[in-house]
Amino acid sequence: MLAALLKDIPRAKVLVIGDAMLDRYWYGAVDRISPEAPVPVVAVGRSEERPGGAANVATNVVSLGAACTLVCMSGDDAAADSLTRLTQDAGVAIDLVRDKLVNTTVKLRVVSRNQQLIRIDFETQVSKDTRARMLERYLAKLPGCDAVIVSDYGKGGTGHIQEMIRAARAAGTPILIDPKGDNYDAYAGATLVTPNRKEFEQVAGRFTDNDDLARRASAMIERLQLDGVLVTRSEEGMSLFERGGGVMHVPTQAREVYDVTGAGDTVIATLGAAYAVKAQPRDAIRLANMAAGIVVGKLGAVAIDRRELAAAVQ
């Protein structure tokens, strides 16, 4: 079933909207401690840029073989130029709403000997006008897609999320949300929300066992009128809770956890591509779990390799 699903994905058309960012990596050696403060001195030898946030979700969708349109916001700066180039080179159709009043979100990671030493974030909140323009472009592109992914990183790019959900539901298009924050009321009516364990407990409270988790997830589904909740649980795998009482726990597929950066992006991208071809939720979860098990074995946020995933399925 998973092999057949993977073969179906190239006919999917996925719309991703949310908070895109540019991931920068500085790599270098540490040979001494600074005389100015007890911190390591990194002699940077090379640098790298990758699409991050919603842009990483979009590149994952394309890497799976599906077509993807990305609607996101940025500043009007060099980082936005880099983000556009990187996503276009990956095969994503990007619709970037530039705002001269903000800076493009950039996450800079300093790495030495494959160990992240520090992350430095550059970010500003999006304006109301830019959020309105994003909604307009979303509504214009919605009719041509098979599934919607909302990648919420709390940067303001999903300010009109309820309008997005209602429009997708009216069109009969599944809408999946990677959530943020301690209040999920804005996600009411979505097809699926995919919090990790920490995010879920921040909203629903700490759970003690699988039965307690099921009760809390069911309460969330009923209160927000969701079709389902998927809780990603790191080394404990994933747990899917569906309206009507369906429950599925999937053990992790990770052989070795090297870096969890971007794993959530890979999960929701795989789910969105699977939902776009009308896969059964449980098959979609299994495929997403396999994809996550592959990317956590790599450094930084990277897109899933379709050939690796196909090999894992086989």
SS in 3 state form for 218-283? Answer: HHHHHHHCCCEEEEECHHHCEEEEECCCCEEEECCCCCCCCCCCCHHHHHHHHHHHHHHCCCCHHH
Instruction: Give the pLDDT band of residue 146 (cuts 50, 70, 90).
Output: very high
Q: What is the pLDDT of residues 166-193, one digit of tens each?
A: 999 999 999 999 999 989 999 999 999 9
Q: Average pLDDT, stretch 277-302?
A: 85
Q: Average pLDDT, stretch 63-75?
A: 95
Q: Average pLDDT, stretch 42-54?
A: 95
Instruction: Give the pLDDT band of residue 236 (cuts 50, 70, 90).
Output: confident
Sign for the CA dihedral angle at 19, 154, 148, 25 comes to positive
Q: Is the pLDDT of residue 267 over 90?
A: yes
Residue type present at position 206? R
Q: What percent of the chain has pLDDT over 70?
A: 96
Looking at mean pLDDT, say which of 118-132, 148-162, 179-193 comes out highest.
179-193
Q: Which pLDDT belongs to residue 260?
A: 63
Name the residue among 196, 242, 237, 197 with its Cα closest to residue 218: 242
Instruction: Identify the H or E element spanning 24.
Output: strand 20-33
Which residue has 């790495």 as its token pair?
111
Residue partners of 81: CB distance under 8 A and separation at least 6: none
Q: Is the pLDDT of residue 37 over 80?
A: yes
Q: Average pLDDT, stretch 114-142?
A: 91
Residue 78 near residue 283 (C-beta atoms within 8 A): no
Q: What percent of the chain has pLDDT over 90?
A: 75
Q: Is the pLDDT of residue 132 over 80?
A: yes
Q: Average pLDDT, stretch 29-46?
A: 95
- Reply yes or no on whether 95 is catalytic: no
Q: What is the pLDDT of residues 206-218, one digit of tens each?
A: 999 999 999 999 9
Residue partners of 78: CB distance under 8 A and separation at least 6: none
Q: Which pLDDT belongs to residue 154?
A: 86
Burial 252-282, CB ≥16 within 10 A → b, else e: bbbeeeebebbbbbbbbbbbbbbbbbebebe
Q: Which pLDDT belongs to residue 301?
A: 67
Q: Chain-wide mean pLDDT for the chain?
A: 92
Active-site hit among 185, 212, 265, 283: 265
> Do strands 20-33 and 40-53 pair parallel, antiparallel, or not at all (unpaired)?
antiparallel
| Longest pairwise C-alpha distance within the chain | 62
Q: Which pLDDT belongs to residue 242?
A: 95
pTM, to two decimals: 0.92
Using CA atoms, how far apart are residues 279 and 252, in angstroms rounded to an integer? 21
Q: Which pLDDT belongs to residue 212?
A: 95
Strand partners, 46: 27
